[in-house]
Amino acid sequence: MTDRTFDIGDRTVDRLGFGAMRLTGEDIIGAPDDEDAAREVVEHAVEAGVDLIDTADSYGPGVSERLIGEAIGDDEDVLVATKAGLLRNREGDWLPHGDPDYIRNQVLCSLDRLRTDTIDLYQFHRPDPDTDFEESVTTFGELKDEGLVSEVGLSNVSVEQLETARDHVEVATVQNRYNVGDREESDVLEACEEYGIGFIPWAPINGDDIDGVDAVEKVADDHDATTRQIALAWLLERSDVILPIPGTSSVDHLESNLEATEISLSDEEVERLTDAGSN
């Protein structure tokens, strides 16, 4: 049985969190049709005991952070992780932008929308090919030194980039794509285990990756569970440093995802699911 909690800096959080990207409009641009319903999902997550919420300035942009701020304000029992480093346009593109002045501007916007004085975990969303990576991560470190952010995280980085970043700033977490059907980033997970860094897999229950994977469907049948619940239960068993952040805009789906913590997989099932991955 793995630990249910993980320490991010001096905060201990439950390892199953909530991803707030889906609270926005279509293509993660603009406001959702029903803002009350979106705020209700956040409130419900916190009432159910979720104390790790992931968002980004680029979700909306601004919308996801604003709705979280309106729903729970600066709730000291909840670690809100946000990100900077991607611009958006009306076509929905995600455009890397790691310029230090831009990051310094964005942290002020995020503080305002999240209604807080300090960002609990500030993640560099994606390395920018047009900005020196070390300059970007150094800026995140400076924001920590200045007290605007408590902890620094990275996202969508290679092992080499993680190691480079560690020369400039203490890295609390890495957020890369990873799930039972997609193990491309296994080497980064292994590096996080070695360094005791939290690994936050995004797209943890992505249907395109997990639907149709025989082992997942068989284990789900055996537990009378959904494939998404099994995908989450496997992530929680896979490593003590993994903190999945399944995203949903629905209270029903949220509840179903949280029930994954009640599923106990046998060692043999964990092994079968691990062997089912493509990488």
Ligand X SMILES: NC(=O)c1ccc[n+]([C@@H]2O[C@H](COP(=O)([O-])OP(=O)(O)OC[C@H]3O[C@@H](n4cnc5c(N)ncnc54)[C@H](OP(=O)(O)O)[C@@H]3O)[C@@H](O)[C@H]2O)c1
Q: Using CB under 6 A, which of 158, 164, 186, 256 touches ligand X?
A: 256
Q: Using CB under 6 A, which of 85, 153, 204, 277 touches ligand X?
A: 204
**114 near ligand X, judged by CB under 6 A:** no
**253 near ligand X, judged by CB under 6 A:** yes
- Pairing of β 5-8 and β 11-14: antiparallel
Q: Which two tokens stand for residue 133?
A: 């990576």
CA distance 169 to 184: 25
Identity of the residue, 146 or 207, whose beta carbon is nearer to ligand X in the bound complex: 207
**257 near ligand X, judged by CB under 6 A:** yes
**54 near ligand X, judged by CB under 6 A:** yes
Q: Using CB under 6 A, which of 80, 180, 203, 219 touches ligand X?
A: 203
**155 near ligand X, judged by CB under 6 A:** yes
Identity of the residue, 131 or 176, whose beta carbon is nearer to ligand X in the bound complex: 176
Q: Which stretch binds ligand X (CB under 6 A): 6-14, 131-139, 163-171, 199-207?
A: 199-207
**22 near ligand X, judged by CB under 6 A:** yes
Burial (CB count <10 Å: 0-12, 13-18, 19+), residue 115: middle
In angstroms, the Cα distances linking 28 to 2, 21, 158, 200 are 34, 7, 25, 20
CB of 134 vs ligand X, minimal distance in Å: 20
CA distance 252 to 4: 23
State the CB neighbour count (10 A cutoff) for residue 47: 9
Indicate left, alpha or beta for 108 from its phi (over 0: left) and psi (-120 to 50: alpha). Answer: alpha
CB of 103 vs ligand X, minimal distance in Å: 16
Yes or no: say if 180 and 205 are a contact pair by the CB < 8 Å rule. Answer: no
**67 near ligand X, judged by CB under 6 A:** no
As a whole number of Å, the CA-based R_g of the chain is: 18
State the CB neighbour count (10 A cutoff) for residue 215: 19
Q: Using CB under 6 A, which of 6, 140, 202, 234 touches ligand X?
A: 202
Q: Using CB under 6 A, which of 150, 173, 175, 227 touches ligand X?
A: 175
Q: Which residues are catalytic?
A: 59
- Summarize as ranges the residues that interact with ligand X (CB under 6 A): 19-22, 54, 155-156, 175, 202-206, 228, 245-250, 253, 256-257
